């Protein structure tokens, strides 16, 4: 039996193969109707990132996470899954937590974006939640940390005095694989306390 990769793929798809592996077959399926061709048109837009106006050329399929990380050099925002599952890329858009992997940059022109790099005060002093995380040694590998901190920052704007249960729900869109969620929650609760005091 001889077959090319593409023919095999078509056969498998015709045979009702599993959709979860479809990503491997990207070329055989239309991807959101886009042509991911090189030289795809970029357009110049303005974003307000961490209080600064930033002019940036973006492609129409470009996500905010990629713009922040690769065009604006703000690598504090992490990509854990790029599919809106883990929350590592959480940033605030007009104070509301968003998965930046799932926001197309051109859709938020002119909006206020806050990343982990934008939390520190003008003099470099840590934000109360950052201070609390340092005080409680809240995270381990810390790859998920920026997402958790941004999610908590956004949530606490809506509920400044949460119970542990409420805050857990507030950051439940974020995954940690070191999995000491207990200490993460303790650190974020401490952050809420620090914020109420400031």
Partner 1 sequence: MAKLVGQNYTPPDHVAKVTGRARYAEDFRAEGMLFTKLLLSPMPHARVRSIDTSAALALPGVKAILTADDLPDLNGAERALTNEPLYAGEPILAVAAVDELTAAEAVERIQVDLEPLPFVTDPIESLRPGGPNARLEGNAWGPPMPGGGGPGAPAPLQTIKWEAADFGEDEDAGRLPMGKALEEWSYGDLDAGFAAAALILDETFVTQSTAHHPMETRSAMAYWQNGKLFIHASTQSVAQTRGNIARWVGIEPTDVMLICEYTGGGFGSKGGGAVSMSIPALLSKKANAPVMMRITREEESYIGRGRTNLTGRARVGFAKDGRITALDLFIVQDTGAYGPLGDHRSAGLAASLIYQPPAMRWRAVNVLTNTPPRSQQRSPGPMQANGIVEPVITKAAKQLGIDQVQIRRMNSPEGQALFGPVQPNGQRNHVTGAFVKEALDRGAEVFNWEARKARAGQRQGSKVRGVGVTVGPHGAGSIGWDSIMTIRPDGKLYVQSGVGNLGTHSVMDLARVAAEVLDMPWEKVEVIWGDTGKHLPWTCPSVGSQTTHGMTRANMAGAEDARRKLQELVALEMGGSPADYAVGGERVYDRRNPGVGLSFAEAARRAIRRGGKFDGHELPEDINPMTRASATALAGLGLMGVAKDTYPRDGATYGFVIGFAEVEVDIETGGVTLVDFVGVGDVGTVINPRSLVAQIKGGACLGIAHALFQKSVVDPKYGVSLGDRFHYSKPLTILDIPRSMHTEAVGLPDPGTPVGAKGVGEPPVGAGYGAVMNAIADAVGVDVFRRAPVTADIILMSLENGRRMHEPLRAHV
CB of 44 to partner 1, least distance (A): 18
Name which of 109 and 117 has its Cβ closer to partner 1: 117
**For residue 173, with 0-12 CB atoms within 10 Å meaning exposed, 13-18 middle and 19 or more buried, which class applies?**
middle
Name which of 88 and 110 has its Cβ closer to partner 1: 88
Phi-psi region of 157 (alpha: psi -120 to 50; beta: other; left: phi over 0): alpha
CB of 82 to partner 1, least distance (A): 6
Q: Does residue 188 contact residue 171 with C-beta atoms inside 8 Å?
A: yes
CB of 22 to partner 1, least distance (A): 10
Name which of 24 and 96 has its Cβ closer to partner 1: 24
- Report which secondary-structure segment, H or E, holds 196: helix 181-197
């Amino acid at each position: 039996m001889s077959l090319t990769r593409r023919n095999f793929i078509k056969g498998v798809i015709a045979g009702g193969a599993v959709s979860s592996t479809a990503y491997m077959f990207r070329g055989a399926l239309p991807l959101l109707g886009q042509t991911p061709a090189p030289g795809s048109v970029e357009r110049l837009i303005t974003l307000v990132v961490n209080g600064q106006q930033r002019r940036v050329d973006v492609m129409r399929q470009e996500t905010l996470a990629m713009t922040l990380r690769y065009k604006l050099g703000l690598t504090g925002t992490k990509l854990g899954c790029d599919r809106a599952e883990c929350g590592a890329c959480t940033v605030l858009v007009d104070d509301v937590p968003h998965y930046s992997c799932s926001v197309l940059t051109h859709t938020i022109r002119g909006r206020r974006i806050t990343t982990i790099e934008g939390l520190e005060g003008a003099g470099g002093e840590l934000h109360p939640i950052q201070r609390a995380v340092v005080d409680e040694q809240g995270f381990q590998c810390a790859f998920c940390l920026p997402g958790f901190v941004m999610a908590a920052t956004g949530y606490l704007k809506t509920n400044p005095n949460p119970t542990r249960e409420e805050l857990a729900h507030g950051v439940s869109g974020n995954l940690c694989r070191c999995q000491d969620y207990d200490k993460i929650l303790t650190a974020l609760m401490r952050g809420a306390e620090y914020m109420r005091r400031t």
